Chains A and B, each alone.
Chain A
Amino acid sequence: MSFKRLDPEDFLISADSITAGAWSGNSPSITTFFTSSVQEAGSSGDYYLNVYSENPDTSNTASVEFAVAFGDSAGSGSILYDPGQNGKSPSSTVFGQFQNIVLGDENNNFIFGGVTPVTQSFFALSVERSKYKGSIFPGTMNLVLSSSAGFITLTDNSRDVSTTVFNEAGRVFQLVSGSNGNAIGEGDTPASAVSNGMTISGSYGLFLPDIGCLLLNAPALELPEADGGIALDVGYQTNGDDDNNRAIFEVVSGSGTTGVGKANFLLNSQENITSDFLFIRARNSEYNYSENPSFISGSTGEVLYTNFINAPQTFITSVGLYNDANELLAVAKLSKPLKKDFTKEALVRVKLDF
């Protein structure tokens, strides 16, 4: 017999969580930031800016790391689609897009750290899907924002909270001033802030690891440095392009500000790899003879060496996995032959990834 049936206990399904640096080359951090002049000048530039770690205008290997977009409930900060239709602009489109996937209801407002800002506007940082893979790994996000007024380091508060909050976009954490998943302490937080690492306008935004997005609370970033902000100049024209996407890009990249040399975006990706493990067991009495043509001599089937009659030795090189119709579905090769005889039992663990 060549085939041996697998028992139920020979199968094991394992889901392993794999984390890695999120950015190109599995790097955990980006310190240089570029946009594409072509993309910015195109129609998509009205909605978002793609951000690269290499200059896409000069490098063939540059790939998109994340995109930044500005969303405003009143459609402010960008040019109206139709001058006669107030409130309908790229910024309101972006706002409605995230309202739909994060809040699930067009009538709900964004609440940041328990505060519902009167001005419902945010900056979305949407990480490229191939970069964050399955989700962003909470507690690894550190983002430095800097302007001429100063700089702050934002992180999620995943290590400060004991229970995880969920919304329509999956897990949700607050963006706070701090590092590696912990907010700064009370002594470093402005007195007016609603909580440690936050501001009077609430948290700095929402961290949504399951959809690979950060929503930065614009009113919090507009606050002066003394109140925890960076005095970000956000434009709210009712029918004019305030170029808010470039404004957030500049505070992320730290270009021309006090943040020169401090720009940094740290992130780890996370994905679950589901593997089938099969345990292949060859008992001592099994698989000790071979149909290999070099195992026999002549055409009548005599074994090659007389000592193979009572003490045969075989060398396992391949494991084949079959269905009931004896069709070979998967094959695994050993890195070197595994000796098998009547005094040995072999146990081979085969990993099948999907």
Chain B
Amino acid sequence: MGYLNNSIVTIDAILTNKGRELLARGDGSFKITQFALADDEIDYTLYNPTHPSGSAFYGQALENMPLLEAFPETTQNLKYKLTTLPRGTAKMPVLDAGFAAITLKQGASLAITPQTLNYLGNNQIFETSGYTATLADVRTLSNFNGVGINTEQAEALNQTQTIGTNVSKTVVGTTINLTATTVNTLFGSNTQLNTTLQIVGRDSGARITIPVTITKTT
């Protein structure tokens, strides 16, 4: 005799900045079709597989931790997604962009072709759905696009013009092209601009964040 596990959890969702933007656009792009789960804020080093009280207590330090509220900023949510992999997976997919950091002179270009290690039994593959690349400050590049994925959604993303302030921009492709800005006024009295490029495997969920530095030449 015991109580049944009341396992359904109800939570309230908030719209992200991107969600608000697409809702305001009113062109049907605000259409939820899929979901992902993440474990942001979890530090697995706190998991204790040697807990003296047994396996029920391994995750004790994590199970009751208080969590922060959701952030409206799109890029600050679901950083670390949970993935579905075969049981017995010993190595997690890892992205290799070929660069630990990117430094570009004004007007210089670079093409990045990421690869995924340890995915679907392969040591190294290009994911068939491509990669999502998000630049934190779109002003730092005069050209930022993805090529190689020709779905309607990917092409729509790649053609989106982002103007104005230091907003992020997301593109999709198997190769990501970057060209540093030639606009001097962005630098002010500084000699370089800094931003980040986040690349996520669209199939594996593996991600990598690369610092990007644009150096002033004139």
Contacts and interface: CB of A to CB of B under 8 A. Distances in A.
A341 B156 CA distance: 37
A82 interface: no
Interface string B14-50: 1110110011000001111111111111111101010
B49 A324 contact: no
A278 B8 CA distance: 12
A330 B83 contact: no
B31 A296 contact: no
Interface residues of A, number: 70
A158 interface: no
Nearest to B155: A325
A327 B8 contact: no
Contact of A309 (B59, B67, B89): B89
B7 interface: yes
A43 to B, nearest CB: 38
Contacts of B206: 291
Interface stretch (A67-75, A113-121, A148-156, A310-318): A310-318
Interface string B44-87: 11010100000000110011111111110010011011111101
B40 A338 contact: no
A159 interface: no
B92 A4 contact: no
Given A6-B33, A318-B38, A330-B15, A309 B90 contact: yes
Interface stretch (B106-114, B176-184, B197-205): B197-205
B154 interface: yes
A301 B156 contact: no
A329 B85 contact: no
B57 to A, nearest CB: 12
B156 A335 contact: no
Given A1-B205, A329-B15, A348-B8, A337 B84 contact: no
Contact of B83 (A287, A300, A316, A329): A287
Contacts of A4: 34-36, 84
A101 interface: no
A324 B31 contact: yes
B29 A325 contact: yes
Given A319-B37, A326-B172, A340 B82 contact: yes
B94 interface: yes
Contacts of B30: 323, 329
B32 A323 contact: yes
B149 to A, nearest CB: 11
Contacts of B156: 325
Given A280-B35, A315-B59, A326-B202, A332 B154 contact: no
Contacts of A346: 7, 9
Contact of A289 (B34, B41, B84): B84
B78 A326 contact: no
A343 to B, nearest CB: 11
Nearest to B9: A348
Q: Which of A321, A336, A348 has the largest count of B CB atoms less than 10 A from its CB?
A: A321
Interface string A268-305: 00000000101010100111111111111001111111
A17 B205 CA distance: 40
Nearest to A302: B91
A330 B14 contact: yes
Nearest to A345: B7
Nearest to B20: A329
A251 interface: no
A41 interface: no
B161 interface: no
Contacts of A340: 37, 82
A309 B19 CA distance: 36
Contact of A2 (B7, B36, B47): B36
Given A309-B90, A317-B67, A326-B34, 6 more contacts: A285-B87, A290-B80, A294-B43, A294-B45, A310-B88, A336-B64
Interface of A: 1-6, 276, 278, 280, 282, 285-296, 299-305, 307, 309-310, 312-340, 342, 346-353
Interface of B: 7-16, 18-19, 22-23, 29-45, 47, 49, 58-59, 62-71, 74, 77-78, 80-85, 87-94, 117-118, 132, 153-154, 156-157, 170, 172, 202-207
17 contacts: A1-B84, A2-B82, A290-B82, A290-B92, A291-B92, A292-B39, A294-B44, A296-B92, A304-B45, A310-B87, A319-B37, A321-B35, A323-B30, A328-B16, A331-B16, A336-B65, A346-B9
Complex A-B, nearest 8 residue pairs according to Cβ-Cβ distance, in ascending order? A2-B205, A329-B19, A325-B153, A332-B13, A292-B80, A287-B82, A2-B81, A301-B94
